[in-house]
Copies of this chain bind each other. A is one copy, B any other.
Amino acid sequence: MRVLFFGDIVGRAGRDALMARLPGLMTELQPDFIVVNAENAAGGFGLTQEIASDLFKAGVDCLTLGNHSWDQRTLLTQIDAEPRILRPINYPPGTPGRGAQVYTKGGKKLLVVNVMGRLFMDPLDDPFRTVDAELAKHRLGGSVDGILIDVHAEASSEKMALGYHLDGRVSFVVGTHTHVPSADGRILPKGTAYQTDAGMCGDYNSIIGMKAEPAVARFVRKLPGERLTPAEGDGTICGALVTLGANGLAESIRPVRRGPGLLEA
């Protein structure tokens, strides 16, 4: 089985770049499932059902979120009816939406879990125990053919700790949130593919996808300023392709980076 993942879509530049390249990538990489983090898809802040629908039509199977899940408030009332959108599973009970879902396609089943880290972030429920509890309901290579965990977190140490904690029990642990692709894709000792951050889909001539000048000013001047808005140059998409064996563990991981600015892969 082949699973293709892309990191945080930031604004129109990211959406356009992803939509434009998906048809070619589907031919080239033959993914069974496409999962994309979309927490910044709507003007850099959150996700709307309209944008989600466009992405689903383009071939995306599941959209994950993060700390920007609810920046577009309309999603709060729509997410329960949309099983293809996941918000972090470790929000408190009663939070709209779901944090894990099994997707079935072409006879194959993929469990996707979206979870948020806590180091330097909002103190949600324990990501380690929450994911463990979800995994207890499934069997990799049995009830599901693959398991992908999107760890939306700031600290590399926490992401790696979750990677090792889950090693041998899931197919792929991939980080999001820093908006920077890491060049550390690898297979951990017990067979789980791991990459600290998928990187963003957006205009890399920017500060994490947002126009540079106001973002710099925030650090330098410490004054309330213009609202940050997404950079509008050509977008580059960043992610990874993982191939799984029959047991659901990873056989390979390779980066996928397409577009201007970065070294393509």
- Known A-B contacts A157-B208, A186-B261, A189-B205; the reply to A223 vs B95 at CB < 8 A is yes
Q: Are B128 and A126 in contact (CB under 8 A)?
A: no
B residues within 8 A CB of A204?
184, 186
For the complex, is A144 an interface residue (Cβ under 8 Å from B)? no
Q: Are B73 and A224 in contact (CB under 8 A)?
A: yes
Q: How large is the interface on A (under 10, 10 to 19, 20 to 34, 35 or more residues)?
A: 35 or more
- Known A-B contacts A120-B120, A154-B120; the reply to A76 vs B223 at CB < 8 A is yes
For the complex, is A179 an interface residue (Cβ under 8 Å from B)? yes
Interface residues of A in 106-121 (CB under 8 A from B): 118-120
Q: Are A183 and B125 in contact (CB under 8 A)?
A: no
Extra pairs beyond A70-B224, A180-B196 (17, CB < 8 Å): A73-B224, A76-B224, A92-B220, A92-B221, A92-B222, A96-B223, A118-B123, A123-B123, A123-B124, A156-B180, A160-B206, A160-B207, A164-B207, A180-B197, A183-B199, A183-B257, A189-B205
For the complex, is A22 an interface residue (Cβ under 8 Å from B)? no
- Known A-B contacts A204-B184, A222-B124; the reply to A178 vs B156 at CB < 8 A is yes
Which among A184, A212, A223, A263 has the highest number of chain B CB atoms within 10 Å? A184
Interface residues of A in 85-144 (CB under 8 A from B): 91-96, 118-120, 122-126, 128-129
Q: Are B263 and A185 in contact (CB under 8 A)?
A: yes
> With A and B bound together, what is the CA distance between A263 and B263 in angstroms?
14
Which among A96, A157, A183, A216 has the highest number of chain B CB atoms within 10 Å? A183
> What per-residue 1/0 map shows which CB atoms of A193-226 lie under 8 Å from chain B?
0001101000011111000110110111111100
- Known A-B contacts A70-B224, A186-B261, A224-B70; the reply to A179 vs B156 at CB < 8 A is yes
B residues within 8 A CB of A119?
123
